[in-house]
Amino acid sequence: MPSRTELANAIRVLSMDAVQKANSGHPGAPMGMADIAEVLWNDFLKHNPKNPSWADRDRFVLSNGHGSMLTYSLLHLSGYDLPIEELKQFRQLHSKTPGHPELGYTPGVETTTGPLGQGIANGVGMAVAEKILAAQFNREGHDIVDHYTYVFLGDGCMMEGVSHESCSLAGTLGLGKLIAFYDDNGISIDGHVEGWFTDDTPKRFEAYGWHVIRSVDGHDANAVRAAVEAARAETGKPTLICCKTVIGFGSPNKQGSHDSHGSPLGNDEVALVRKTLGWAHEPFVIPQNVYDGWDATAKGAAAEKAWQDKLAAYRAAHPELAAEYERRVVNNELPENFAEVANAFIAESQAKGEKIASRKASQNSIAAYAAVLPELLGGSADLAGSNLTIVKSSKGIEAADASGNYIYYGVREFGMSAIMNGISAHGGFIAYGATFLMFQQYAANAVRMSALMKLRNVFVYTHDSIGQGEDGPTHQPIEVLGTLRLTPNLETWRPADATESAVAWKAAIERKTGPSALVFSRQNLDPINRTDAQVADIARGGYILSDSEGELDAILIATGSEVSITLQAAEKLRAAGRKVRVVSMPSTSVYDQQDAAYKESVLPLSVLNRVAVETAHADYWAKYVGLDGRVVGMTTFGESAPGGVLMEHFGFTVDNIVNTVEELLQD
């Protein structure tokens, strides 16, 4: 049986060889953390390489994702479907070993990491999900949900603000099954960190309410093992294990230096590492006895089999709970009656015709859908009373009672969004979280990561325009809608009334291939009369809301709060003899996915006279109105005044829309 040192050295040589072959990458972190990883994966991690998606597996997150070869080496060595040829293709096109770990590319990778700090936030989300599921489903004698989340992170993650946000909340929620390993090697890209990072990190985490284990020698397997055992013994707090390591361990000339951080070691240094470690094997060659020492397939299969036996006993004792658990967690399926309930609510919203803010319509939708969706897990970044995300069935998650369905995130927009990513990557929930649209910019990278990972999150944004008024330009997001719409795989909705809001929520819940951004108004919106066919077409993202017979003079396109005044402008234009069409386009991204015939029926290419109306930046609408069209939109920041005053000041009036169309037709 190979020694622990030999097992860890296999990680080191695979990592440096892959980086060297790619002539790109970060060998230092994998070489420095290899001993910690060996202890965790061989002595503690509950996983099955032959079934990476087993529901009750432990989760492992490499927050310092630039050290991705650490993860790839671990997955390859322990028996996952990641052959040595994939390691040889590190950072190459279409390989399973991209530059940073990416969810969906590599079996065994739990979340996409790379933007520093977000991995630990994702880990917090995974631990939150585990704790809530355990509270909701476990019963005496039946711990069907019982796993840990382990996170590796470095100095860069500690410096990023999102780690402060998420780790603070983790302490408050008492996430006892979250164990983080801090790779305290004192090096970042620019060199030794004492010039710019002198925080007392252990004190910081103790202040958060974490259990902190200080000054562990990260190259002493016995010390690491003892630290993990102590961490697992603390059930009421998350644990930070502070590990002192040497970056690039084993490299005679580059260890302990930023020279080993983000560049290949070089062929000469690689040869010296082999000599230093006593590794007498060619690149990418691992002796069979080392593979045997790492192989986790038999142990993993036995662990999953033991859990399957527990699930069978649980199913016998609590059949209804077991069926719900399997629906939500194992199969990721919506209730059979969800579509029926949602369609009935949409029809009811249309029939009522209430003049309410779309944020209120959103709250009504949450209440209706939550009645049949126990997996709907809400939250707000300290704005629940403004975002209207709490409903009668909402119950807050607390350290002592995690059986609820609502997280009070506090003023942590970035942390909230990254935690939601972890919750969704874990499974068992449809997470929604809310803030003002303007403050989405705090969280933009986490929202982007959600889209990149194809996670079903619902990002709720209210106070969507200059119409929110007196708070002024600091709170008026004239540019944010464009950013959301330009993000690949993010479906953005800006509903015009209660009916469109209900449809948007249904679409977001049913979507399994990525997140949705639902953008709602603060001010009340007029209800819109629609036929049944028009209600059905809302789900297509854009549809004809009002039309004229015969050859059209112009098409007006509007979203959200501007649809109502655009309809009024159309009536005035028709009274003057103009034949115009009004298109409501609550989701440009969904509309863009429609077939060519449908899009031609809504926006025929023959009609060049087009005007878009929206209280957001005008430039976005060029793709729909063309070079010959016009946009009634924003090109400056807003102002501080009542919302109605601002709408008139910036030209969002019936008369200005009419005049814009007339000027276009006269050109």
For the annotated catalytic residues, the residue numbers are 413
Dihedral of CA atoms 311, 312, 314, 317 in degrees, nearest 10, equals: 170
Instruction: Answer yes or no: is 439 a known binding residue.
Output: yes
CA distance 130 to 428: 9
Instruction: Answer yes or no: is 359 a known binding residue.
Output: yes
To which H or E segment does residue 462 belong?
Answer: strand 457-462
**Contacts for 204 with CB less than 8 Å, ≥ 6 apart:** none
3-state secondary structure of 58: coil
Instruction: Answer yes or no: is 448 a known binding residue.
Output: no
Give the Cβ contact number of residue 217 at 10 Å. 14
Lookup: tokens for 209 = 């309410």
Instruction: Answer yes or no: is 521 a known binding residue.
Output: no
Instruction: Answer yes or no: is 426 a known binding residue.
Output: no
To which H or E segment does residue 178 belong?
Answer: strand 178-184
CA distance 468 to 531: 30
Instruction: Answer yes or no: is 261 a known binding residue.
Output: yes
CA distance 15 to 19: 6
Instruction: Answer yes or no: is 608 a known binding residue.
Output: no
CA distance 170 to 124: 6
Burial 291-325 (b: 16+ CB within 10 A, else e): eebbebeebbeebbeebeebbeebbeebeebbebb
Instruction: Answer yes or no: is 638 a known binding residue.
Output: no
Lookup: tokens for 350 = 């249309």
Instruction: Answer yes or no: is 107 a known binding residue.
Output: no
List Cβ<8 Å contacts ≥24 apart for 390-398.
Answer: 390/363, 391/363, 391/366, 391/367, 392/367, 393/367, 394/370, 397/128, 397/132, 397/173, 398/173
CA distance 26 to 8: 17
Instruction: Answer yes or no: is 32 a known binding residue.
Output: no
**Contacts for 425 with CB less than 8 Å, ≥ 6 apart:** 103, 110, 111, 122, 125, 126, 453, 455
The DSSP secondary-structure symbol of 332 reads -
CB 422 within 8 A of CB 122: yes
Residue bearing tokens 């989760």: 59
CB 565 within 8 A of CB 559: no
Instruction: Answer yes or no: is 155 a known binding residue.
Output: yes
Instruction: Answer yes or no: is 211 a known binding residue.
Output: no
Instruction: Answer yes or no: is 463 a known binding residue.
Output: yes
The separation between the first and the last C-alpha atoms of the chain, rounded to the nearest angstrom, is: 84
User: What is the CA angle 642-622-527, rounded to 5?
Assistant: 45
**Contacts for 597 with CB less than 8 Å, ≥ 6 apart:** none
CA distance 78 to 231: 24
CB 397 within 8 A of CB 342: no
Phi-psi region of 108 (alpha: psi -120 to 50; beta: other; left: phi over 0): left
Dihedral of CA atoms 180, 185, 188, 194 in degrees, nearest 10, equals: 110
Lookup: tokens for 515 = 């997140």
Per the annotation, where are the binding residues for thiamine diphosphate? 66, 114-116, 156, 185, 261, 439
Binding site membership for substrate: which residues? Answer: 26, 261, 359, 386, 463, 471, 475, 522
Give binding residues for Mg(2+) as ranges: 155, 185, 187
